Structure 1
Amino acid sequence: MDFYLKEGGIRTRLPYGELDISGNENCGYRPFQLMVASVAGCSASVFRKVLEKKRIVIEDLHISAEVTRNPEEANRIESIELHYAVKGAHLDREKLEKTLEIARKNCSMIRTIENAVKITETLEIIKISD
């Protein structure tokens, strides 16, 4: 990846498009936002793949992330809490929790930062009738 100086930040060009990065939200994505998005996006993608392999059918998946930062240490990310809301019919909590554990073990972003950032996951099941 190559990065280029631009007014108010840095830019990179990727196959999907340009990405502007800046400490100023008016000029691009903030680095901590990209870090959290990488963790949530990777985890959700792996979770979805494992669900498909296990033939667990879901209607929808929503992930929210709560971030705790330490202003006394350059606003270092101390923890990321990922909350998964899984919607579907006939969902088994135990199977979903095991699937989430497998996803965590196979998410490269979580594995990269798990010794530096506390990552917790919670699971909510939203049942729909068939």
Structure 2
Amino acid sequence: MDLYLKEEGMRVDLEYGQLDISGDEAFGFRPYQLMVASIAGCSSSVFRKILKKQRTDIADMKVTAEVERNPDDANRIERIALHYVIKGYHLDVDKLYKNLEVARKNCSMIRSVEDTITIEETLETIELSR
């Protein structure tokens, strides 16, 4: 991966497209946003694959990330709370939590930061009727 200097940050060209990174949101994605999005994106995509393999019938999933940063330590990310809202049919909350734990163990982004950032996961379900 090659990153290139630009006026107000860095730019990287990836297979999917161009990504601008900057400490100023006016010029690109902020590094902490990319880190949180990577952790939430990895966790939710692994979770979704597990649910699909187990034939859990979900219609939609939304993940909200709440982030705590430490302004006294370079604004370091200390905690990320991921809250999953799952819409589906015949959802078993206990089974979903077990699958979320398996997803956590198989998410490379969470595994990469688990000793330095506290990652908390909660979920709620919205039962749909046919």
Alignment of 1:99-114 (within 5 A): 99-114=99-114
C-alpha distance in 2 between matches for 1:125 and 1:16? 32
Q: Secondary structure at the match of 2:72?
A: helix
Which 4+ stretches in 1 moved above 6 angstroms? none
Give the drift of 1:9.
0.4
Q: Secondary structure at the match of 1:42?
A: helix
Give the drift of 1:94.
1.0
Per the alignment, residue 32 of structure 1 pairs with 32
C-alpha distance in 1 between matches for 2:38 and 2:55? 25
Pair 1:4 & 2:4 matched: yes
C-alpha distance in 2 between matches for 1:3 and 1:39? 21
Unmatched segments (≥5 aa) in structure 1 = none
Give the drift of 1:129.
1.1
Q: Secondary structure at the match of 1:73?
A: coil
Alignment of 1:1-130 (within 5 A): 1-130=1-130
Give the drift of 1:57.
1.1
Amino acid of the structure 2 residue aligned with 1:5? L
Amino acid of the structure 1 residue aligned with 2:97? E
- Percent sequence identity is 63
Q: Normalising by structure 1, what TM-score?
A: 0.99
Q: Normalising by structure 2, what TM-score?
A: 0.99
Q: Secondary structure at the match of 1:37?
A: helix
Aligned residues: 130
Deviations 1:28-67 (A, max 9, x none): 0000000000000000100000001111110100000000
Q: Secondary structure at the match of 1:12?
A: strand
C-alpha distance in 2 between matches for 1:88 and 1:56? 8
Unmatched segments (≥5 aa) in structure 2 = none
